[in-house]
Amino acid sequence: MKASQLGRGAEFDLIRELLREEPDVLPEGVVLGPGDDAAVVAGGSIVLSCDLSVEGVHFRREWMSVEEIGYRAVAGAVSDLAAMAARPVGILVSLALPAAEAATLVPCLRSGIAEACRLVDAAVLGGDLSRSPGGVLIDVTAVGEATTPVLRSGARPGDVLWVTGYLGGSGAAVRAWEAGEEPAAGARRAFVRPVPRTGEARWLAERVTLHALIDLSDGLAGDAAHLAAASGVQIVLEGAAVPVHRAATPELALRGGEDYELCFAAPAGAVDPLREEFVARFGVPLTPVGRVREGKASLLLASADGEDAALSSGGFDHFEEGEHEA
Amino acid sequence: MKASQLGRGAEFDLIRELLREEPDVLPEGVVLGPGDDAAVVAGGSIVLSCDLSVEGVHFRREWMSVEEIGYRAVAGAVSDLAAMAARPVGILVSLALPAAEAATLVPCLRSGIAEACRLVDAAVLGGDLSRSPGGVLIDVTAVGEATTPVLRSGARPGDVLWVTGYLGGSGAAVRAWEAGEEPAAGARRAFVRPVPRTGEARWLAERVTLHALIDLSDGLAGDAAHLAAASGVQIVLEGAAVPVHRAATPELALRGGEDYELCFAAPAGAVDPLREEFVARFGVPLTPVGRVREGKASLLLASADGEDAALSSGGFDHFEEGEHEA
């Protein structure tokens, strides 16, 4: 848990550098390149994203079972499809495993991978497998289909910002483990069994014009900042409105990361009539947490005296030295 | 370089186990699941494959520059698109890098990745980046488009088996490095700068009915065996006809692996009229190396006395202990 500048962690700088050579003109059929939650190809219908899970960086084996490691790797990747309101089609899974353990790890990983796939109606489309000189590494490419993918970049002044679920549970689990404690059951579950909100995102997108959508992987403060930056708007969060997981603190709800809930901007008044049906259908709260206004792209925290304060994003930086900082 | 049973290396068994849970009915839009060179989705037009490159398993940093590591990772993944006669669209790249070196590695990797992308007209569509507790790891998902993907499974009795290029150069480079020697320049080039035959595959597929197609990653003996198994046919290789790289031996041409040339079955007489134009256009030889006949799926080596001998596939097994065995 480290505070850092808005989107300025070493991870982001490196990715930007890596991706900077993108051609001005995208190849035939490519509608959206890197920069959003997923790329869009096939003239706009196929959505693709990849997500890497590395032992000692994203998880530790003392924290969770091998099944849970497999489940979580897939759920995290598929969450990027939810972030585009795409229907999951399938995944490709690359595994690097310590040679001596491969035979025992594969059946357990497979079981967790299959569980996550069943949950979202995705198929295992392919994969690769290698010996790992280090620990366990799983890279999942999620493939989805969307008639109209929802990007990060469409939030408009006057929109309301919403989130699904309760935030900070996953971060609370990591904080407990790092303090040598056993996390509360709900917090542990939030970390090891995140539910990708693909069904929720599609249900909403079919009923409301979602202007911008992202999934919460870096923490609400980080991801709302991404949304503000991509849309070129100011977002003002109402700190008191943020739905805090019962095992978490308000700070963890803002900065804990890896909640894999949805965060979206929609026209004022558009979502309220659906709220009751959404909660009844999905058993997940739907909460307005802020508003979008004109101004230099930034994220602010609302203050009672009207002097809204700038909020640093405090995302997860995989290149910070030392232990897991989610 | 280890001889093993036809498709029976630990790698293959583990992948099969991992993929065995594939549903009987593929999800909507998925035309082909795992098992071929790539999966096919979007009702048949989008082709997807992933390929993992791990330091100490697939390459060593003493062997090649960081640019070459990036180039080779992409070329190897894109070769799976060639194996389906697909047009490259783009790639997703996940990188796990030692934290202390990430800042120096990324620009060099990016340069090699970009070079391979330019060569085949592909864009970097997305990626992920993480700290690696071990060495360098690159996972590339290649995305292509094909109106009629060519599978491994269509070879028919009477077909002729063809290969592009010269075989064994890549294996000769690895053998030299492992003996503590500097490989011949041509062998080194075959290993570090393989050229995915995407243009060649499409040119051929537009002019001939290719019954079955695969790219040579496990060695001709291994990959022709995959093709025989998928098609349910016998393939008889003419050992003397195999085009051996000038730095390689006939044994390396059969078992060296990672040549990334094409191997395909086409009706007898269909390819011969195109051979001269192919060589003139691509500067790459096109050689008939065997024939397809009825019988229990297997790979044989032709013998002058008519007693064709069974050939073990001898692929690369990433779970063999010890050093690189390509």
pLDDT by residue (tens digit) across B226-243?
Answer: 999 999 999 999 999 999
Give which of A137, A178, A170 is closest to A324, Cα–Cα.
A178
Average pLDDT, integer, range A62-77: 97
Q: Which of residues 31-50 of A touch B (CB under 8 A)?
A: 33-34, 38-39, 41-42, 45-46, 48-50
Q: Which of residues 6-25 of A touch B (CB under 8 A)?
A: 10-11, 14-15, 17-23
At residue B185, φ and ψ (nearest 5 deg) are -55, -40
Q: What is the largest CA-CA distance in chain B?
A: 61
At residue B145, φ and ψ (nearest 5 deg) are -125, 135
Q: Which residues contact B244 (CB under 8 A, 6 or more apart)?
A: B166, B167, B168, B250, B252, B253
d(CA A124, CA A113): 9
**Interface residue A309 vs chain B (CB under 8 A):** no
Alpha-helix residue ranges (DSSP H) falling in B167-325: 169-178, 185-192, 198-207, 220-231, 250-255, 275-282
Give which of B290, B291, B263, B253 is closest to B204, Cα–Cα.
B263
Q: Which of residues 52-81 of B touch A (CB under 8 A)?
A: 52, 54-58
pLDDT at B112: 95
d(CA A91, CA A112): 13
**Interface residue A323 vs chain B (CB under 8 A):** no
DSSP state at residue A240: G
Q: Which residues contact B188 (CB under 8 A, 6 or more apart)?
A: B173, B182
pLDDT at B11: 54
Which value, to the nearest 10 degrees, does the dihedral of the CA atoms of residues A181, A184, A185, A190 take?
Answer: -100
Write down the residue that tokens 């035309």 correspond to.
B31
| CB-based contact A27 B57, cutoff 8 Å | no
Whether the per-residue pLDDT at B297 is higher than 50: the answer is: yes
Contact between residue B236 and residue B302 where contact means Cβ atoms under 8 Å apart: yes
| CB-based contact A133 B128, cutoff 8 Å | no
| CB-based contact A141 B141, cutoff 8 Å | yes
Q: Which amino acid is at B131?
A: R
Whether the per-residue pLDDT at A114 is higher than 60: the answer is: yes
pLDDT at A39: 84
| CB-based contact A123 B26, cutoff 8 Å | yes
pLDDT at A33: 65
Average pLDDT, integer, range B146-165: 94
Q: Which of residues 200-239 of B touch A (CB under 8 A)?
A: none
CA distance B137 to chain A (A): 9
**Per-residue confidence at A14, pLDDT binned at 50, 70, 90?**
low
Q: How far is CA A160 from CA A79, A193, A234, A285, A291, in A?
A: 22, 29, 12, 16, 4
pLDDT at B228: 96
pLDDT at B323: 40
Write down the residue that tokens 């990591």 correspond to.
A174
pLDDT at B111: 92
How far is C-alpha A302 from the geometric centre of its chain's CA atoms?
A: 24
Using a CB-CB distance cutoff of 8 angstroms, which residues of chain A are in contact with residue B41? 46, 89-90, 125, 143
Triad B215, B219, B221: Cα angle to 5°: 105
Using a CB-CB distance cutoff of 8 angstroms, which residues of chain A are in contact with residue B129? 11, 14-15, 18, 52, 318
H/E element holding A29?
A: none
Q: Which of B20, B34, B133 sits opposite A125 (nearest CB)?
A: B34
pLDDT at B40: 83
**Interface residue A102 vs chain B (CB under 8 A):** yes
**Per-residue confidence at A151, pLDDT binned at 50, 70, 90?**
very high
| CB-based contact A133 B18, cutoff 8 Å | no
d(CA A183, CA B157): 63
Percent of chain B with pLDDT strictly greater than 70 = 85
Contact between residue B299 and residue B310 where contact means Cβ atoms under 8 Å apart: yes
Query: Rounded to two decimals, what is the model's pTM?
Result: 0.90
pLDDT at A307: 79
CA distance A129 to chain B (A): 7
| CB-based contact A128 B39, cutoff 8 Å | no
H/E element holding B130?
A: strand B123-131
H helix and E strand count, chain A: 9, 12
Contact between residue A191 and residue A174 where contact means Cβ atoms under 8 Å apart: yes
pLDDT at A29: 65
pLDDT at B322: 41
Using a CB-CB distance cutoff of 8 angstroms, which residues of chain B are in contact with residue A92? 39, 48-50, 141
Across the beta sheet with B46-54, what order do the strands follow?
B39-41, B46-54, B137-145, B87-97, B123-131
| CB-based contact B125 A48, cutoff 8 Å | yes
Q: Which amino acid is at B227?
A: L
Which value, to the nearest 10 degrees, does the dihedral of the CA atoms of residues B283, B118, B257, B233 take?
Answer: -80
d(CA A10, CA B233): 53
Taking the CA atoms of B84, B85, B89 and B93 in sequence, report the sign of the dihedral they define: positive
Look up residue A113 and give its two tokens: 């991978």
Q: Which amino acid is at A124?
A: V
Give which of B319, B260, B92 is closest to A95, Cα–Cα.
B319
3-state secondary structure (DSSP) of residue A301 = strand
Give the length of chain B: 326
CA distance A43 to chain B (A): 11
**How would you write A65-90 as a 3-class SS string?**
CHHHHHHHHHHHHHHHHHCCCCEEEE
pLDDT digits (tens, 9 = 90+) for A195-242: 999 999 999 999 999 999 999 998 999 999 999 999 999 999 999 999
**Per-residue confidence at A60, pLDDT binned at 50, 70, 90?**
very high
Whether the per-residue pLDDT at A7 is higher than 50: the answer is: no
Look at B184 and B39; give whichever has higher pLDDT.
B184
Give which of A153, A128, A131, A152 is closest to A141, Cα–Cα.
A128
Whether the per-residue pLDDT at A63 is higher than 50: the answer is: yes
Look up residue A123 and give its two tokens: 């198929």
Interface confidence, given as ipTM, is 0.88
Write down the residue that tokens 């024939």 correspond to.
B291
pLDDT digits (tens, 9 = 90+) for B47-100: 999 999 999 999 999 999 999 999 999 999 999 999 999 999 999 999 999 988
d(CA A188, CA A175): 11
Q: What share of chain A is helix, strand, coil (3-state, %, to 5)?
A: 35, 25, 40
Q: Which residues contact B153 (CB under 8 A, 6 or more apart)?
A: B36, B212, B230, B231, B232
The crossing angle, in degrees rounded to 10, of helices B66-82 and B198-207 is: 10
Q: Which of residues 127-146 of B touch A (CB under 8 A)?
A: 127-135, 137, 139, 141, 143, 145
pLDDT at A62: 95
Average pLDDT, integer, range B105-129: 92
d(CA A252, CA A263): 16
Average pLDDT, chain B: 87
